[in-house]
Amino acid sequence: MTVSRIIQLLRTGKPQETVTVQGWVRTKRELKEFTFVEVNDGSALANLQVVLNPDLADYGNILKQLNTGASVEISGVLVESPAKGQRIELKAFEVKVYGDADAETYPLQKKRHSFEFLREIGHLRARTNTLGAVFRVRNACASAVHEFFQERGFLWVHTPIITSSDCEGAGEMFSVTNFKLKDIPLTESQQVDYSQDFFGKPAYLTVSGQLEAEIMAMAFGNVYTFGPTFRAENSNTSRHLAEFWMIEPEMAFCDLEGDMDLAEDFLKHIFKSVLEKCPEDMEFFNERIDKSVLETANNIINNEFGRITYTEAIAILEKADKQFEYPVSWGLDLQSEHERYLAEEYFKKPTMVTDYPKEIKAFYMRLNEDGKTVRAMDVLAPKIGEIVGGSQREERLEMLENRMKTLGINPEELWWYLELRKYGTVPHAGFGLGFDRVVQFMTGMGNIRDIIPFPRAPQTIEF
């Protein structure tokens, strides 16, 4: 038996074709002559309308089981539909109910539910129109990520989830230990004795795979990571997660300009790919969630990104006829309101800002000739602000050692990172992109917890 996916039937199914579908009942409408059942299998936003005639075997008993939420397998013949808005429907000759659903207690009734409520029923929320569309777009976006890099000869590398280094220097990391909390060994100075722990030293959940990706780039040229990362940031906002997915390419023999070109091409590719693969879902978001979703996507696809230095950005912001909540001054980091002003109001398109003061950027970024700024770049997008952060890495051993010394970073903890600069060092660059934030940006969804199937946030780990 071949089971057809509903999305293919809706797009290319032919009248008089005999097919079998499997899915879940969305609605049932009983009339005297026949019964209409809407079935969805998750492959499409739209449902397939199934027509049940009273001459169907065990018709009465089947109708009792066909409640919203019930799982079914239906075989029948496709026919042209006389109803508006649908090309075909399925005239059933066999119905099998795998699992019924109590109509009185099933949480997903035919009405609009709040996203807050849906987060409480994370085991069922993927069956709704909105969350179903989100996860199809997420899938298409993930597919486009791999497609982009694989077509360009990048190697996908799996960097460790458990690490001993803090790449970003944020210090907001989840600790990993095998100690029993009631029996943690201490040293003579009353510090935790990590020598007795599983790894023999402090271990954490990774915040970035960049440093390990640099290792692999020094052997394979162009690589990328795409996997989960973690941040123990006690932030209950619509833009933060404790567990999120990062995309981090790293390129050997590459400078900042090459890094920026790749980031621009990458963003254009994934937005274009999602529009092509999920047109109905993106139309849905444009109608129901944010009426500028399609305009925003086309803005990214069709415009050449703006490019300015941090110093130029500060000058623009200082002259802006706008009152900002946070101060604007050379040496201070740009806040979201500043980033959005540049992308939304000044340039009216995605904009790259480069050459930030070294004091507000990470130790591994290449120092410019002025001794004040580093070869960093951020991509700022309308409505969201920073969407990509990257840099040319410091490939000069002495410069990197001096930078680490200035910031108080123990070179012994990153001896291997320094040693890369001793053996065949080359200019190299890369960037990081928060995958969940990109999907949020694509769909216009207001809360990032509705972008990932099982969000992890402060006091949130139910499923």
pLDDT tens-digit profile of 383-441? 888 999 999 999 999 999 999 999 999 999 999 999 999 999 999 999 999 999 999 99
Percent with pLDDT over 70 in the chain: 99
Give 379's strand partners: 352, 388
For residue 53, the 8-state DSSP code is -
> Residue type for 182, please?
K
What are the strands, taking DSSP E only, across 194-309? 203-205, 222-230, 243-252, 306-309
With 0.85 as the threshold, say if the pTM is over it.
yes
Q: Which pLDDT score, from 0 to 100, does residue 384 have?
A: 85
297-348 pLDDT, tens per residue? 999 999 999 999 999 999 999 999 999 999 999 999 999 999 999 999 999 9
Give 75's strand partners: 20, 94
Would you say residue 167 has pLDDT above 80?
no
6-99: CATH topology: OB fold (Dihydrolipoamide Acetyltransferase, E2P) (2.40.50)
Buried b (16+ CB within 10 A) or exposed e, 419-439: ebbeeebebbbbbbbbbbbbb
Would you say residue 102 has pLDDT above 90?
yes
> Residue type for 121, please?
I
Closest CA to 226 of 240, 209, 214: 209
pLDDT level of residue 261 (50, 70, 90 thresholds)? very high
Separation of first and last alpha carbons in the chain: 34
Closest CA to 279 of 377, 175, 163, 137: 137
Q: Which pLDDT score, from 0 to 100, does residue 447 have?
A: 94
Q: Which pLDDT score, from 0 to 100, does residue 168 have?
A: 61
Q: Which CATH number does 127-172+207-450 carry?
A: 3.30.930.10
CA distances from 226 to 160, 181, 204, 249, 342 (A): 11, 33, 19, 9, 29
Would you say residue 50 has pLDDT above 70?
yes
Q: Which pLDDT score, from 0 to 100, does residue 118 have?
A: 95
Q: Which pLDDT score, from 0 to 100, does residue 110 have?
A: 79
Asked if 383 contacts 296 with a C-beta cutoff of 8 angstroms, the reply is: yes
Would you say residue 281 has pLDDT above 90?
yes
Would you say residue 171 has pLDDT above 70?
no
Write down the mean pLDDT value for the chain: 95
Percent with pLDDT over 90 in the chain: 89
Question: CA-CA distance, 345 to 267, in Å (whole number)?
Answer: 20
Residue 170 vs residue 284, higher pLDDT:
284
pLDDT level of residue 202 (50, 70, 90 thresholds)? very high
Average pLDDT of the residues in 344-358 = 97
Q: Which pLDDT score, from 0 to 100, does residue 432 have?
A: 98
79-83, 204-208, 326-330, 360-364: which has the minimum mean pLDDT?
A: 79-83
Would you say residue 187 has pLDDT above 80?
yes
- For the chain, which residues make up each domain, given as ranges? 6-99, 127-172+207-450, 180-205
Average pLDDT of the residues in 46-66 = 94
